[in-house]
Structure 1
């Protein structure tokens, strides 16, 4: 079985010679090799977890989500979206609490 990403060199006719198909100059090959910021979990998930202690972090991550910050690293999208949902829930709960107190 041939390794993935390699192709047999057809010119030599030797089954043991392989050459790399991918371009070594391509800068997207190592995109996911580097760890995410904020202790490796990403800004979105870090903001989500920290938001339980300091809720404005959810709104910060929501701002990053709506400004398409995740285009820098697509792995950030899920965490930022989760923080945006948490900010929405926090806002709805705060509005309900204010409505109950005032009525």
Structure 2
């Protein structure tokens, strides 16, 4: 019976669906065998890298971070947090530059 379920999981995986990989000792440690969007690096890291060219991407990722987008896939959390920090640093740098030019 278990052998049939494993075979069904393999067929679903080949069809593009993802299947759960469970730890026998701790069922809470569940990962999904599904690649992240944006070339496999996730929206957060993709926004972080693209933010060096288009800084508004950092603010978009910050919005996603504060809207708890990472609840859908916890692997997104680190990239979204890095983008939020980059947006904060960018805001401080622009504020200081504007103050120096104005004063």
The TM-score bracket by the shorter chain reads 0.7 to 0.9
* CA RMSD after TM alignment: 2.1
Shift, 1:28, TM fit: 7.3
TM-score by length of 1: 0.72
- Residues 30-62 of structure 1, C-alpha deviations (whole Å, 9 max, x = no match): 542100000000000000000000000000000
State the TM-score, normalized to the length of structure 2: 0.72
> Which ranges of 4 or more aligned residues in structure 1 deviate by more than 6 Å?
none
Q: Which runs of 5+ in 1 are unaligned?
A: 1-18
Q: Which has the higher helix share?
A: 2
Count of aligned residue pairs for this structure pair: 81
2:96 & 2:19 partners in 1: Cα distance?
46
Q: How does 1:8-19 map to 2 (within 5 A)?
A: none
Larger radius of gyration: 1
Q: What are structure 2's unaligned runs of at least 5 residues?
A: 7-17, 22-30
